[in-house]
Amino acid sequence: MGAAFGDQPGVVIDGPDIAGFLGAVDQRECTTVTYNALFDNAILAWRYNFVPARMVDGLGMARALLGSRLRKLGLGDVAAYLELGEKGKEIHNVIGMHREEILRDPDLWAGFRAYCLTDVALLRAIFLRLHKEFPGAEYAVMDGVLRACIEPVFRCDVALLQAHLAKIRDDKDRLVSEVGTSKETISGNGSFLALLEATGVEIEHKPGKRGPIPAIAKTDEFMQRLLEDERPEVQCLAAARLGVKSTLEESRCERLLRIASLPWPSAAPLMPIPLRYCGAHTMRLSGDWKINMQNLPSARTGDPILRKSLMAPPGHKILVGDLAQIEARLVAWFSGCQRLSDEFRHKRDPYSQLAGDIFRMPVDKATISGVARHIGKAGILGCGYGMGPEKFYKSVLAQSRAALSKEQMEQLSAVWTSDLAERAVYTYRRRYSEVRAMWGNLTQALENAWLGKLGVSPMQFGPVTIGHRNDYGYVVGPGGREIRYPTPKIVDGDLWWWSAGVPHKIYGAALLENIIQFLARIILFEVAVRLNDTYGLRFIHQVHDELVFCVPDAGVERMAGILRTELRTEPAWAPGLPLDCDVAWAQRYGDCK
């Protein structure tokens, strides 16, 4: 292990001496700076019982500040980009070797030690360089994200996962046997298409990078329609294809079981939550360790068995707080749309209000068995970012399959047409005209301040500033947090930016979506940090717009009230923002929704 204290020279600690070295360090006063802390700090905690007072991840800092510019973010890649030195390649000389083997060659051992010290020096140099730009408030957020994994709280119901895995495998075998062919035939694109064509199905296509390609992905509407085809053999083919090809649930289940089987010190298997700090361009988190814990199916999107396998320890409950319709509320507030803000603030049910205008009649939750309001809900939640009629039409159909009953789907089919989708989109734009105006204002900001036009100053929109520096456009938000857009330019009349060499088109409505997701993330983690600082309540998981905690049974109602109050408290930088939330608790995470 290589280490350095402050600005002191780095030292190499031999393997047998690591435990003694760490034992002499006061964890309560220590901050560790590592590179890929989900790896290094997991080793420190799980192998050496060393958990510092604060954890800083150099990789997380690089992802936040350089992730939109670099294709690779390894220590050597970042050091080279910042012109801090070369990492070296001595590690390649000892791959697959044990310590005792390396020690037999003094030159090899000396080179390995030098490589280790170089890593420490480069890490310190990277940290000191990036620290100048890294928002100070984000260190507490980063530490909390790491602790969700490094200090796991969830217990895992292994028996439930084992039974679920067996069912998944049985279902796959059954689907394949029903169509009388092999998994390989179903899995292969060409052979699957041949099977479909043999039943008389006309294959639909979609745009691909090199021309049209068959629309046979799980998310393609064509495949969903095949599941409802009037011919049983077509239904079986589609079901078998999706069952055989969709191995995500199976692989997730297998991976959770492998993690649960680690030699945890507790009586029950623990389940760490590996999250990637600033995994998204807008600073939102994403999943890590090849298992995205943010996308485990909920009761609203599928079978919540994986969520149900995550339990509170004895005498505790899982407490979940979710910012309700946060993006739609932020769109209204940020755009200065008083009408929509008031509908949220005074609980006038914006979904029914918009649906009433679309259908030109009073609408409530009971109207047309809720289908009209369902369309209004899709409009409120989806039309704020400039979605056009065609995309909205397909979006409503895709969302409805998971949200509506069979009877409601039949009612939707009777009214949902391309013409109604067009009416819905333009009704939204007329009713909440300030949102549409904001798209235009942000387009102007992109064409001027964001592009860095000579003589144009940065432009302020509420709590964010849009401008240009050092060959990138930026959006700076509360606390100095920043979204960066490298190499912005106009190509053939459209605005583009390049992420690690990959072009991305941008326009006013798309920039609004970035800003709203950015601000929603800031709100959520400001709440998380306040709860930790004031009440010692540390989040153990974070999913989209929700925070997850574990609290003692005796205090769950009190902490639920505190969480509800905090989530409804408008930020100092967002006066008048109409926030609301949903709070629930249960023994199992999957029962909180």
pLDDT in tens, 423-478: 999 999 999 999 999 999 999 999 999 999 988 999 999 999 999 999 999 999 99
Taking the model in full, what pTM does it have?
0.90
DSSP 249-313: HHHHHHHHHHHHTS--SSSS-B----EETT-STTS--EEBTTB-GGG---TTTS-THHHHTEEPP
Q: Averaged over 279-286, what is the pLDDT?
A: 96
Q: Are residues 126 and 175 in the same domain?
A: no
Model pLDDT, residue 296: 87
Average pLDDT over residues 170-176: 81
Pair (110, 205) in one structural domain: no
Half-sphere exposure of 436 (CA within 13 A, CB side): 12
Looking at the fold, whether 10 and 60 belong to one and the same domain comes out as: yes
CA distance 335 to 337: 5
Three-state DSSP at 12 gives strand
The answer for residues whose C-beta is within 8 angstroms of residue 456's C-beta and 6 or more apart is: 448, 449
- Domains of the chain: total: 3
| Mean pLDDT, rounded, for 319-344 | 98
Question: Which range has the worst mean pLDDT, 300-309, 337-346, 362-371, 480-489?
Answer: 362-371
User: Is residue 195 one of the residues assigned to a domain?
Assistant: yes
Using the 8-state DSSP alphabet, how is residue 573 labeled?
T
- The answer to whether 311 touches 587, Cβ cutoff 8 Å, is yes
pLDDT in the model for residue 6: 93
Q: How many helices (H) and strands (E) does the chain have?
A: 24, 21
Question: Could you report the per-residue pLDDT of 358-393, keeping only the tens digit for each?
Answer: 999 988 876 655 789 999 999 999 999 999 999 999
What is the 8-class DSSP label of residue 16?
Answer: G
Query: Is 271:153 a contact under the CB 8 Å cutoff?
Result: no
Residue 129 lies inside a defined structural domain of this protein = yes
CB 301 within 8 A of CB 249: no
Whether residue 515 lies inside any domain: the answer is: no
* The pLDDT value given to residue 300: 64
Rounded CA separation 323/548 (Å): 12
- Choosing from 249, 272, 302, the residue where a domain stops is 249
DSSP secondary structure code for residue 585 in this structure: E
Summarize the confidence of residues 68-74 as an average pLDDT.
94
Alpha helices in 72-220 (DSSP H): 75-81, 99-103, 106-131, 138-150, 158-178, 183-187, 189-198
CA gyration radius, the chain: 27
Residues 357 and 398 in one domain: yes
The mean pLDDT value for 307-315 works out to 96
Q: Are residues 240 and 362 in the same domain?
A: no
Give the pLDDT of residue 246. Answer: 59
**pLDDT tens-digit map of 117-162:** 999 999 999 999 999 999 999 999 999 999 999 999 999 999 999 9
Average of pLDDT values for 539-544?
96
pLDDT range class, residue 315, cuts 50, 70, 90: very high
Backbone dihedral angles phi then psi of residue 247, each to the nearest 5 degrees: -90, 5
As a whole number of angstroms, the distance between CA 144 and CA 38 comes to 12
| Residue 29 shares a structural domain with residue 107 | yes
DSSP 539: -
Q: Of 176-180, 212-216, 396-400, 527-531, which range is least confident?
A: 176-180
From 431, 462, 496, give the residue that closes a domain: 431
- Alpha carbon 586 to its chain centroid, in Å, reads 24
Task: For residue 3, list its beta bridge partners.
Answer: 11
Whether the pLDDT of residue 566 is over 60: the answer is yes
Residues 192 and 82 in one domain: no
Q: Residues 106, 23: one domain?
A: yes
Spatial neighbors of 96 by CB under 8 A, at least 6 apart, are: none
- Mean pLDDT score, 32-39: 97
Q: How far apart are CA 64 and CA 483, in angstroms?
A: 8
Contact 434, 337 (CB under 8 A): yes
Same structural domain for residues 196 and 93? no
Burial zone of 561 (CB within 10 Å; 0-12 exposed, 13-18 middle, 19+ buried): exposed
From 377, 398, 431, give the residue that closes a domain: 431
Do 172 and 121 share a structural domain? no
**The pLDDT value given to residue 249:** 80
- What tokens appear for 393 in the block? 């039409």
Instruction: Give ∠ CA 96-98-101 in degrees, rounded to 5.
Output: 110
Task: Identify whether residues 121 and 244 lie together within a single domain.
Answer: no
pLDDT of residue 299: 66
**Coil, strand or helix at 451:** coil
Is 207 part of any domain?
yes
Our CA angle for 14, 87, 117, nearest 5°, is: 25
Please state the φ and ψ torsions of residue 577, each to the nearest 5 degrees: -70, 120
pLDDT in the model for residue 286:
95
pLDDT score for 29: 95
Whole-number Å distance between alpha carbons of 67 and 565: 35
φ, ψ of residue 210 in degrees (nearest 5): -120, 25
**Six-digit token pair at 129?**
């360089």
In a domain, residue 444? The reply is no
pLDDT at 366: 66
In the prediction, which pLDDT does 302 show?
Answer: 62
Give the whole-angstrom CA distance, residue 165 versus residue 305.
10
Instruction: Identify the pLDDT of residue 573.
Output: 98
- φ/ψ region of 158 (left if φ > 0, alpha if ψ in -120 to 50, else beta) reads alpha
User: Phi and psi dihedrals of 52, rounded to 5?
Assistant: -70, 165
Predicted pLDDT of residue 410: 86
Round to whole Å and give the CA distance between 541 and 321. Answer: 11
Nearest to 234 by CA among 279, 197, 282: 197
Output the CA angle 127-132-137, nearest 5 degrees. 90
Whether 554 shows a pLDDT value over 60: the answer reads: yes
Q: Quote the mean pLDDT of the chain.
A: 93
How many other CB atoms are found less than 10 A from the CB of residue 186? 22
The pLDDT of residue 438: 98
The range of the structural domain enclosing residue 87 comes to 2-134
Looking at the fold, whether 20 and 98 belong to one and the same domain comes out as yes
The closest alpha carbon to 367, from 335, 301, 413, 412, belongs to 412
pLDDT at 182: 84
| DSSP H or E run through 238 | helix 232-245
Cβ atoms of 30 and 5 closer than 8 Å = no
318, 310 Cβ separation under 8 angstroms: yes
Higher pLDDT, 483 or 249: 483
Whether 392 and 349 have beta carbons less than 8 Å apart is answered as no
The gap between the terminal CA atoms of the chain, to the nearest Å, is 44
DSSP letters for 25-59: S-GGG-EEEESSHHHHHHHHHHHH----SEEEEHH
pLDDT confidence bin for 78, thresholds 50/70/90: very high
